[in-house]
Structure 1
Amino acid sequence: MSSTRRRAQDAAVDLIGAEGIRALTHGRVDAAASLPAGSTSNHFRTRAALIAGVIEGMAAAEREDAGASAIRSRDDLVGALSRMIEVQSGPLAGRTRARYALFLEADADAAQPLREQRLGMEAWIHGILLELGSPPAAARAPFLMAACEGLLLHRITVDPDAPIAEVVAVAVDAALAS
């Protein structure tokens, strides 16, 4: 991927996260990325292509962020999920806001990379719960994901200082309960 394309994607995410999806224009992305006028249009010809490119870039960045840390215990899982929420509601809060805005505004086809990313995350949680618990625990992966997503949304909209680890621990314990 070219550095100009990546810069445009990153600037677009920052723009959406700070000002909402309606602020997304090719010219504003060029300005935010300190690119020559027309650069974003060279990579994303239409607004729909720009939105799709932003979603694609965001999903790739989130896959990189998730990494593949080894989770071998309940405490490892609580720690990993807590760290993810801390980062997504702290230093990466703009990207989180942009993701929510794009989910709400993008058409189903454009948002597909984010949906695939979400499904991959759920499969990862499912596997961990299966390894730590049992098939019934693994079936609670959507519950655990919803609890973490709710906490993340709460932190970026209502209370940025809401406790994380304590809430995640309760959700993990509920998912692992027999």
Structure 2
Amino acid sequence: MTTTRERALAAAVELVGTHGIRALTHARVDAQARLPRGSTSNHFRTRAALLSGVAAWIAENEARDLSGVLGQPFEDVDGFVDLFTQGIELLTGPYAIRTRARYALFLEMASDPELFAPMRLQREGMAAWTLGLLVELGTPHPDNAVRAFMAFGDGLILHRLSVDPNAPVRESVEVAVRGCLAT
């Protein structure tokens, strides 16, 4: 059974992902979640607490939802490309609202290190994991490669969320991966 807190967090993500960060108020979350007035405030007393809770909830759910795809073994560059293609397609397809909310929170929380911590930790974990895979594939410049690849991924995700939801993914991922592996 879903708790009141979980319902509030899911509703908050839905609000931010569909209406932007300004839609995130305790009252709107209560209404979106069909909770009694004041329920969200019982769990998250301040806007900062609500933002922090939403950020942590997004990080936890993304880790869970992407682990099945990103945890798959691969044997070669094509397998690595397939892996990231699937991840980007999930983030910009079935999980697009949550991904929009994550990007909105990135901008809202970037100036507050404490609030940004859950998202930063998730990002650092993803970068470290990607770095390991790029090293395994033989990139000659791992630090530069991972920064470029992560920036590429963000750009493609943002492009699919805002400009062209049907933009091809695999071809772009392949170019980025092969560029990261070039000498």
TM-score by length of 2: 0.91
Do the aligned residues in 2 keep the contact of 1:72 with 1:132 (CA within 8 Å)? no
Runs of 4+ in 1 over 3 A off after TM superposition: none
Show the counterpart of 2:164.
159
Q: Taking structure 1 as reference, are residues 165 and 21 closer, same or farther at Cα in structure 2, changes over 3 Å only?
A: same
Show the counterpart of 2:134.
129
Q: Does 2:46 align with 1:55?
A: no
Show the counterpart of 1:17.
17
Structure 2 SS opposite 1:109: helix
Q: Partners in 1 of 2:74 and 2:34 — Cα distance? A: 41
1:149 aligns with one of 151, 154, 168: 154
Q: Which runs of 5+ in 2 are unaligned?
A: none
Q: Partners in 2 of 1:162 and 1:118 — Cα distance? A: 24
TM superposition shift of 1:134: 4.2
AA matched with 1:156: L
Structure 2 SS opposite 1:37: coil
Do the aligned residues in 2 keep the contact of 1:130 with 1:138 (CA within 8 Å)? no
Show the counterpart of 1:118.
123
TM superposition shift of 1:139: 4.4
Identity in percent? 53
TM superposition shift of 1:108: 2.5
Q: Which runs of 5+ in 1 are unaligned?
A: none
TM superposition shift of 1:7: 1.4
RMSD: 1.5
AA matched with 1:109: E
Show the counterpart of 1:6.
6
- Measured against aligned partners, the alpha-carbon deviations of 1:96-144 in whole angstroms (never above 9, x if no partner) come to 1111111111223211111111110010100111111145246411111
Q: Partners in 2 of 1:56 and 1:63 — Cα distance? A: 11
Do the aligned residues in 1 keep the contact of 2:139 with 2:180 (CA within 8 Å)? no
Q: Partners in 2 of 1:31 and 1:83 — Cα distance? A: 34
Aligned residues: 177
1:176 aligns with one of 158, 175, 181: 181
- Measured against aligned partners, the alpha-carbon deviations of 1:20-44 in whole angstroms (never above 9, x if no partner) come to 1111111111111122222111111
Structure 2 SS opposite 1:45: coil
Alignment of structure 1 residues 38-49 onto 2, 5 Å: 38-49=38-49
Show the counterpart of 1:29.
29
Q: Partners in 2 of 1:71 and 1:116 — Cα distance? A: 25
Structure 1 SS opposite 2:114: coil
Show the counterpart of 2:85.
82
